Chain A
């Protein structure tokens, strides 16, 4: 397909998927911004996370630990561990996109769950390129704009508990976890790690229980190596139709065809899911 700018660009299925994911994910930046300032971060700290860290799961982890009274070191530990999978994505995208020069450094910053899923969901190499950049740039811009909106609005809310913002954080983490709970093994891992966390909370400083759970999960991953890994590989699989019988969300994508944005949702990957 010849690349003609811009009317034909909007007809690219990958660009359309990328842009719809950008809007859904970007809007969700409002809740990050609001939760961040009510967790005790100031406006610029909140913006630094969205601009520089730019990985939703890690950003929520950072403010989640701070909100729970954890130390900066524990917040950094949780955020950094959650960011590990982006390295796996980078490896896959490097093979697909082969960015060179400065584009490689830009691509790295835009490497998150959604841009990876958009790109790897395409089969045509040109579409893989367009999908990655459309989703990556689109989400980066909208995520930061809406983070700012949320941070400014959140500070004006008064007592965050009155508005249930701590409940929003609970829901956000469950929403990030949910699409990964496909099959018994991921559920078992989640339950074991949740139990480890609850047992650890009274005995160690806030924030540390999360790191203990991470170690437990790593050990499980190490020891169970070689077994059936359904649902445990990095997030690429929502796009690969491995479980066609398990997704009742088919009503979400009328006529969007193989690359429809609805399919993205229909396969259980939430917008904003653990970038």
Chain B
């Protein structure tokens, strides 16, 4: 039940972010420092989410089949594959490595 609360609060804040841009005077948000921080935070968050999903298991760091998924996805992205192919490459690599016995 408590997950619902956090989930709905997340939805509320997400909408608040979106709406605030329409309600504030444009000049306020045209601050280049704010815009730049939004850019660096997006990169930082996505890098962090990538590495957490690759290496973390609770509070432990583990090397498992997800490392293969990361490599396969990077290869697909390097070859400019469409997004869906990238995701499938990641899933396929992890599944195959597990089938081969590497967890």
Contact = CB atoms under 8 A, between A and B. Distances in A.
15 contacts: A28-B87, A48-B7, A57-B42, A58-B14, A64-B53, A67-B53, A72-B6, A86-B21, A88-B35, A95-B26, A163-B91, A164-B91, A196-B48, A225-B33, A271-B82
Given A62-B7, A166-B66, A221-B39, A93 B83 contact: no
Cβ-closest 9 pairs across A and B: A90-B21, A171-B90, A217-B44, A167-B94, A167-B69, A72-B6, A221-B40, A164-B95, A164-B94
B46 A66 contact: no
Interface of A: 24, 27-28, 31, 41, 45, 48-49, 52-55, 57-58, 60-62, 64, 66-69, 71-73, 75-76, 78-95, 99, 104-105, 107-109, 111, 161-178, 180-181, 186, 189-194, 196-198, 201-206, 209-210, 212-214, 216-218, 220-222, 224-226, 229, 231-234, 248-249, 265, 268, 270-274
B56 A68 contact: yes
The DSSP consensus for interface residues of chain A is helix
B44 A86 contact: no
A233 B39 contact: yes
B58 interface: yes
Interface string B7-30: 111110111011111101010011
A169 to B, nearest CB: 5
Contact of B46 (A48, A108, A180, A212): A180
B60 interface: yes
Contacts of B43: 177, 180-181, 186, 189-190, 193, 217, 232
Given A87-B38, A177-B43, A201-B60, 20 more contacts: A72-B2, A80-B10, A84-B42, A85-B39, A91-B22, A91-B26, A105-B19, A109-B15, A161-B98, A164-B69, A176-B46, A177-B47, A190-B46, A213-B44, A217-B43, A221-B38, A234-B39, A271-B82, A274-B42, A274-B46
Nearest to A199: B61
Interface residues of B, number: 79
B67 to A, nearest CB: 9
B41 interface: yes
A175 B73 contact: yes
Contact of B21 (A72, A111, A168, A218): A111
Contact of A167 (B20, B24, B59, B93): B93
A166 B53 contact: yes
Contacts of B74: 174
Contacts of B24: 91
B100 interface: no
Nearest to A179: B77
Contacts of A73: 6
B91 A214 contact: no
B77 A27 contact: no
Contacts of B50: 170, 173-174, 177, 194
B96 to A, nearest CB: 8
B18 to A, nearest CB: 4
Given A81-B45, A197-B52, A221-B40, A109 B18 contact: yes
Interface in B68-103: 68-70, 72-74, 76-77, 80, 82-84, 86-96, 98
